[in-house]
A and B are shown apart, each in its own frame.
Chain A
Amino acid sequence: MAKILIVEDDTFLQGLEVSTFKKAGFDVEISSDGKGAVGKVDGTKFDCILLDLMLPGEIDGFGVLEKVRAGATNKETPVLVFSNMADTDSFKKATGLGATEFIIKSSVVLEELVDKVKGFAK
């Protein structure tokens, strides 16, 4: 069973994402902020990470991405940035920090997201 980490602070969206991915057969871990996410990626190897950019607290999505790529455990793990920050600067920054893909939340439905993650989390 593929193991994924969903980093999402919006409780409602998080709930929808988690139930969809669990129904699709994934082992899902969640984090609602950057600090929690950094703690998880240090200790657990994931098959894929779904990462929001706007996160509460000191560490935002970019900060989490930096830590993921700098660490040993998930250095090569596909990280799909999943955000409604649809501007070029965010895209460039995320890509520069090693994001595997940048997906705008409002442009997809959940089943499309599941298909994407299935493709990466082989």
Chain B
Amino acid sequence: MDKDELETKIAQLEKLGEERTNLMSISAHELRTLLTSLKWMLRMLVDGDVGALTTEQKHLLSKGFENTERMISIVGEMLVIGHTANPLEATKEKEVVDIVELIDSILFNFTGESYKKGVEMLFLKPDNGMTKISIHTNQVRVILQNLIENAIKYSSHGDRVFISVSDTGTYIRISIRDTGIGILKEDQPQIFNKFFRAPNAQKHEAVGTGLGLYTSKLIAEMEGGELSFTSIEKVDDESEHGTTFFLDLPKVTK
């Protein structure tokens, strides 16, 4: 294949990739719209807005509401996977961004949720200006949103989430530490598996797809970085517990 043929092929693949992404966006939108109406209807029924229910009816409809929320999450995360797992995304130009500014903007979107849950978020910003990285911003945003959302989700009222940025030499490391429920030792090897949700996580929070960490690790590796963690399961309120995720991203090379 000569250079011109190759360039034509690449252009065709990029177009196909774009059409696929658009199709997924439209399908996701349609699914979300249908699920929204189902969610709202179920909530109105559970709340007694259209008449009183028996205990059993309320229980069944509540389960339906939970499952609808779960379906909405799955649609969202499958959209992310479909978009980010497209190899052509990795061929697009990276941007040089200030990771501190990116994290700030993401945290702003979570202020309502963390306040409602009584979870304090603390961003320990670095003193020096070593925070520029070369990334696909939208992709990395997905990882950070996933990790921060999980940190809040698996924490309880009074817990704290600490976010910090450091330089490991090869990478810029973003650490997200929570003081929440932690991950059991026996579940840790599976935490990045597709659709895996640890039993203690499911008990703490019924809604979840098990796709968030799988997607995040995939994106981190596509960005030339790594995603890892340490965790101690919560046994009681006194002993140390919680999870720290480390997102390592390649530094800007001069």
Contacts and interface: CB of A to CB of B under 8 A. Distances in A.
Q: Do A and B come from one complex?
A: yes
Interface of A: 10, 12-13, 16, 54, 84-88, 104-107, 109-111
B85 to A, nearest CB: 16
Nearest to B25: A87
Leading 4 A-B pairs by shortest Cβ distance:
A84-B32, A106-B32, A106-B36, A106-B72
B43 A13 contact: no
B44 A12 contact: no
Interface of B: 25, 28-29, 32-33, 35-37, 39-41, 43-44, 47, 72, 75-76, 79, 138, 141
A30 to B, nearest CB: 16
A84 B72 CA distance: 11
Nearest to A102: B109
Contacts of A106: 32-33, 35-36, 39, 72, 75
A16 B40 contact: yes
A84 B36 CA distance: 9
A106 B37 CA distance: 8
B138 A10 contact: no
Contacts of A104: 32
Contacts, number: 46
A109 B33 contact: no
A12 B37 contact: yes
Contacts of B76: 86
Classify the secondary structure of B's interface with A.
helix
A10 to B, nearest CB: 6
B138 A105 contact: no
Contacts of B40: 13, 16, 109-110
Contacts of A16: 37, 40-41, 44
A13 B43 CA distance: 14
A88 B138 contact: yes
B33 A84 contact: yes
B37 A109 contact: no
Contacts of B28: 84, 86
A110 B46 CA distance: 13
27 contacts: A10-B33, A10-B37, A12-B37, A16-B37, A16-B41, A16-B44, A84-B29, A84-B32, A84-B36, A86-B28, A86-B76, A87-B25, A88-B138, A88-B141, A105-B36, A106-B32, A106-B33, A106-B35, A106-B36, A106-B72, A106-B75, A107-B72, A109-B39, A109-B43, A110-B43, A111-B43, A111-B47
Contacts of A85: 25, 29
